[in-house]
Amino acid sequence: MSSTNKKIPSPIVSLLPVAFLVGMLFATIRTFGSDALSGGSQVSLLTTTALCIFIGMAFYRIPWKDYELAITNNIAGIATATIILLIIGALSGTWMISGVVPTLIYYGMQIIHPDFFLASTCIICALVSVMTGSSWTTIATIGIALLGIGKAQGFEEGWIAGAIISGAYFGDKISPLSDTTVLASSVTETPLFTHIRYMMITTVPSLVITLIIFTVMGLTHETNDTQQIAEFAAALNAKFNITPWLLIVPVVTGILIARRVPSIITLFLSTMLAGIFALIFQPELLREIAGDGDIFKGVMMTCYGSTSLPTDNDMLTELVATRGMAGMMNTVWLILCAMCFGGAMTASGMLGSITSVFVRFMKSTVSVVASTVCSGLFLNLATADQYISIILTGNMFSNVYEKKGYESRLLSRTTEDAVTVTSPLIPWNTCGMTQATILSVPTLTYLPYCFFNLISPLMSIFIAAIGYKIIKKPMNNPA
């Protein structure tokens, strides 16, 4: 192969594209603000990709074919995620306009007590995510409904989104149906349920601390008075045909999930069913969206385009506005550009060069785990994709853990503690972009309140420090 004996860039040189990207993104966000995802961030990623390729080709003789192969492999790897993202756009539109989300919000406001709303939100999302194995599906369905309930009860959107994401990523991390859970266990050659049981040691304490924080916040928070909540409910009832029949959609979705129907099929069928229910229960809204009274046109526009329905409540008007599949295009575009950057960093050997620095500090158990955590977090920042980060972290450290006598389950757990849960906290990561788009809450707005995601990596290091259930195998004597 042409790249067999290529010279690898030093860690300092390898950090140049990363530093350049951080500078570019800082300048872009400062200039464009919330509009940075409309093109500025994408240009920043492509410009940094070009810099990385230039350094590799000009100074290290790395052929273009190596970059081309790595980039195309990266993009191929997120093809399914891209399709899911587009279907989620259609699903969020149909679930809203059909009245499914408004119905969940309407009944939810009457059931969930404001004092325990944040903790309840976290628990509900955790349970749904464990059953679905998907944080994306959880956030795009029940998460949006809970966001509406929380706003009606007077909570700031950062706190609500933090509770939603904390719960959703708890399930994403430990569910046997989760692709990241399966990926982390398979990359490190750890049996799936061995991996899940071992993760409980760090995951459960992280969730308990998170729930305590949300409970305390809920008890000290001054919620909207009952009259304001009643006005919000009345506005919902006036705009939508609220009926328990609409709950058939989430129930059917739950059945499909329980029967382990693939995510794309589940989301598509759920979208189609919601579209049919929109025709039955909300024909007037569809005529309003279409503008010419054609309800079929209204359903189609709900799936692919933006909708805006004026109501008697400004908060409700903002909540029920949808963006459809078209609203996901900036995120899809950004993900593709992020994959180009990740591919260029991988092909040039810069990622391997940077992470090799972490290996040098791996002396004690704490340093081994801390180095893995730091490496996983760095890869999340550099490659902008949790799947690539999990694969690279597992591959890079598997030999190190084996040589030092540590069980593979320690690596698999640490990888998930470092990578899976921190991915939605990074604005240019695929997860960070997706959750911010679905919830319409900027990543940096909800980041301080994603306590489970922030605590998990620290908990992993803490458990390593006390050495709880960390078994070091006896080293084989050299031949």
| pLDDT score, position 352 | 77
At 145-200, the pLDDT tens digits run 888 888 888 889 999 999 999 999 998 888 876 778 877 887 788 887 888 889 99
| pLDDT score, position 296 | 92
Specify the range with the lowest mean pLDDT, choosing from 106-115, 168-177, 242-251.
Answer: 106-115
Specify the range with the lowest mean pLDDT, choosing from 44-58, 194-208, 360-374.
Answer: 360-374
| pLDDT score, position 33 | 65
| pLDDT score, position 478 | 42
> Shortest CA distance to 250 belongs to which of 94, 441, 87, 82?
94
Taking the CA of residue 179 as centre, how many other CA atoms within 13 Å lie in the half-sphere pointing to its CB?
Answer: 14
CA 223 → CA 117, 119, 128, 156, distances in Å?
10, 15, 26, 10
| pLDDT score, position 381 | 84
Higher confidence at residue 30 or residue 201?
201
CA 472 → CA 410, 460, 475, distances in Å?
10, 16, 9
Specify the range with the lowest mean pLDDT, choosing from 136-145, 274-283, 311-320.
Answer: 311-320
Three-state SS annotation for 129-177 = HHHHCCHHHHHHHHHHHHHHHHHHCCCCHHHHHHHHHHHHHHHHHHCCC
Residues 6+ apart with CB under 8 A from 280: none
Task: Provide the token pair at 258.
Answer: 């329980």
At 259-313, the pLDDT tens digits run 878 778 888 999 999 999 999 999 999 998 888 888 999 999 999 988 888 887 7
Higher confidence at residue 264 or residue 421?
421
At 381-419, the pLDDT tens digits run 877 778 778 877 877 787 778 878 888 899 999 999 999
Counted residue by residue, the chain has a size of 479
The confidence band for 315, taking pLDDT boundaries of 50, 70 and 90, is low
At 322-370, the pLDDT tens digits run 788 888 787 788 778 878 888 898 899 887 787 777 777 777 889 889 9
| pLDDT score, position 65 | 94
Higher confidence at residue 233 or residue 94?
94
Query: Which bin fits 223, alpha (ψ -120 to 50), beta or left (φ > 0)?
Result: beta
Average pLDDT along the chain: 84
Burial class for 222, CB neighbours closer than 10 Å (0-12, 13-18, 19+): exposed
pTM of the model: 0.69
| pLDDT score, position 3 | 44
